[in-house]
Amino acid sequence: MVTLLLDQTQLEVVLSPLERAATFHRENVKVSRDTITKVQLTDDAWTWLRGVPGPGTHIPSILAAGTWKAAASTDFVLIRRHRPSVVIDLEGDEQFQRLIFTTRHGLALTQALRLEVTEEPVDVVEIASTAPIPVVKGRQRPVIRPRPV
Distance of CA 149 to the CA centre of its chain: 60
| Residue 135 pLDDT | 56
Q: Is the peptide bond before 121 cis (omega within 30 degrees of 0)?
A: no
| Residue 58 pLDDT | 93
| Residue 13 pLDDT | 95
| pLDDT, tens only, 92-146 | 999 999 999 999 999 999 989 988 888 889 898 888 888 776 655 666 666 666 7
| Residue 138 pLDDT | 64
| Residue 81 pLDDT | 92
| pLDDT, tens only, 28-87 | 999 999 999 999 999 999 999 999 998 999 999 999 999 999 988 999 999 999 999 999
| Residue 72 pLDDT | 86
Q: What does the buried/exposed string (b/e) look like for 111-148 if buried means 16 or more CB atoms within 10 Å of the residue's CB?
A: bbbeeebeeebbbbbebbeeeeeeeeeeeeeeeeeeee
